[in-house]
Copies of this chain bind each other. A is one copy, B any other.
Amino acid sequence: MGKSPKQGRPKARLPNGFRDIETEEIQGLKAMLRELERVYETYGFEPLETPFLEYTDALGKFLPDQDRPNEGVFSIKDEDEQWLSLRYDLTAPLARYVAEHYEALAKPFRSYRSGWVFRNEKPGPGRFRQFMQFDADTVGTASPAADAEVCMMAADALEALGIERGKYVIKFNSRKYAEGFQERLKIPQINRLTWYRSIDKPSRLGEKGVGELLGPGRKDESGDFTPGAGLSPDQIRESLTFATAKIFEAKFVQGSAVGEAGMADLAEMRRLFDAAGYGEDRVRFDSEVVRGLDYYTGAVFEAELTFESHDETGQLVRFGSVGGGGRYDDLVARFRGEAVPATGFSMGVSRLYAALKHLGRAVNLGSLAPVVVLVMDRERVTHYQHLTSLLRAAGIRAEMYLGSGGMKAQMKYADRRGAPLVVIQGPDELERGIVQLKDLAAGAEMARQIDSREEWREAQPAQVAVPESELVAAVKAALEREAVSAGAAGGYDGG
């Protein structure tokens, strides 16, 4: 490999829909995940990680014909001719884990996990084929208290990340409550998923648009036609009343057992929120939240950022939903044949991070750039290495310049790295037993104009000479001064 690089050279490029992540985002994401972990642990959730590949059948991603996987997942046949798939969410692998270890687990089983998931779908702007989720799940209890808890936890998590009260809301609803309404209205089973996918859109499409989706279908601005649920005008009118009600009411589900059970769940959740001090400003019922996914069986919820603002170009920015979840009593049952009640919440890590950045609340740990020890004399590289090691031993990020460039190239390198300081010791300094510390933050502009050692000696911008024996102490002091002045200038906006 690589022996004859001229022949059939591959092009260095990322696959479509994937991306690299660099220092600032890695640091910001890590800090954000740590904060989420802390909040989730306060709620009694413990970490659990599952592998990236699972048997396709265990993920429930075989197509109905049972001999090939769903195209939306990345799938591979292993050497035993079994299909494996990259996980497309963190819920299906958890269901596999719980089913596999069901007897041994203390129940209710409460766990959290963050991780990359993969979708083999056409990527779009801001839509990647690898993205991160952060999930928490409680398995083994049907109690509405378990649903209420994840909603409160989501609210706490957003506030812990620096999103102020009033800028977010956790919305909840119940699929049972909605199902009860469908029952009362005698909506045929076959139209119910379409009904769910219409009823969650009054804010977006208005009552007219939703009415079309519930009835004959709707043509959007681009001319695309979405088939409707085919309801009668009466059914549509009642559905719109249901979907735009600000409160849940017994009248909507009267006579439906499942609907009344859903109603009771919603009332219990509301009581729990109030008892724990989570008012309507943080957690509230919303009839539009029904979650399109087939597998939800009870309470459903969504975390929404409610603020609007403008980006640098003046464009309106609205982040909307940054997470959601609900009760999925059948996912573990797939394996076990008996119902295992479960509920969970999934945060969209990338969207949440984008929102934090926009709000100036993403943790920016600042530059990781090291102090750079210049190599002024190639013969004395061991001595520069020695100086570098002294700095590191004192816990100071430092490196000796490792390239082959001259003075100008070295200064340019230090500048591009964002080095706070460079350490300079040429023959003169050596003779006098000193080192020069140059503050790049202060002298960056001038540095770019310096071409030679001679010019340097004359200008010496933003630099101090210290005895070599005081190198470590002097560098420490200089870095502290810089940190203070960066702080004073508001350079740190950690959440």
Judge whether A277 and B389 touch: CB under 8 Å: yes
Nearest CB in chain B to that of A6: its residue:
B337
Judge whether A370 and B44 touch: CB under 8 Å: yes
Within 8 A of B (CB), among A47-106: 47-55, 57-58, 60, 66, 71, 74-76, 78-80, 82, 84, 86, 95-97, 99-100, 106
Interface: A225 (CB within 8 A): no
Say which residue of B100, B335, B417 sits within 8 Å of A14 (CB atoms).
B100
When distances are taken between beta carbons in the complex, the residues of chain B under 8 Å from A382 are: 271-272, 274-275
Interface: A27 (CB within 8 A): yes
Task: Give A385 to B44 CA distance when docked, in angstroms.
Answer: 13
When distances are taken between beta carbons in the complex, the residues of chain B under 8 Å from A152 are: 389
Q: How far does the Cβ of A418 sit from chain B's closest Cβ, in whole Å?
A: 9
Q: How far does the Cβ of A115 sit from chain B's closest Cβ, in whole Å?
A: 10
Mask, A138-175, CB within 8 Å of B = 1, is 10111101101100100010000000000000000000
Interface: A43 (CB within 8 A): yes
When distances are taken between beta carbons in the complex, the residues of chain B under 8 Å from A275 are: 382-383, 385-386, 389
Judge whether A392 and B43 touch: CB under 8 Å: yes
Say which residue of B66, B79, B295, B386 sits within 8 Å of A120 (CB atoms).
B79
Interface: A11 (CB within 8 A): yes
When distances are taken between beta carbons in the complex, the residues of chain B under 8 Å from A389 are: 152, 275-277
Interface: A381 (CB within 8 A): yes
Q: How far does the Cβ of A434 sit from chain B's closest Cβ, in whole Å?
A: 19
Nearest CB in chain B to that of A415: its residue:
B106
Judge whether B57 and A10 touch: CB under 8 Å: yes
Nearest CB in chain B to that of A55: its residue:
B15
When distances are taken between beta carbons in the complex, the residues of chain B under 8 Å from A336 are: 5, 9, 12
Mask, A385-414, CB within 8 Å of B = 1, is 110110010011111101110000000010
Interface: A201 (CB within 8 A): no
Say which residue of B42, B108, B413 sits within 8 Å of A106 (CB atoms).
B413
Q: How far does the Cβ of A242 sit from chain B's closest Cβ, in whole Å?
A: 25
Task: Give A337 to B53 CA distance when docked, in angstroms.
Answer: 35
Say which residue of B50, B295, B397 sits within 8 Å of A1 (CB atoms).
B295
Task: Give A63 to B15 CA distance when docked, in angstroms.
Answer: 19
Judge whether A335 and B12 touch: CB under 8 Å: yes
When distances are taken between beta carbons in the complex, the residues of chain B under 8 Å from A3 are: 330
Interface: A294 (CB within 8 A): yes
Contact status of A13 and B399, CB under 8 A, knowing A106-B413, A271-B382, A392-B43: no
Q: How far does the Cβ of A136 sit from chain B's closest Cβ, in whole Å?
A: 12
Q: How far does the Cβ of A391 sit from chain B's closest Cβ, in whole Å?
A: 9
Q: How far does the Cβ of A232 sit from chain B's closest Cβ, in whole Å?
A: 27
Task: Give A422 to B195 CA distance when docked, in angstroms.
Answer: 45
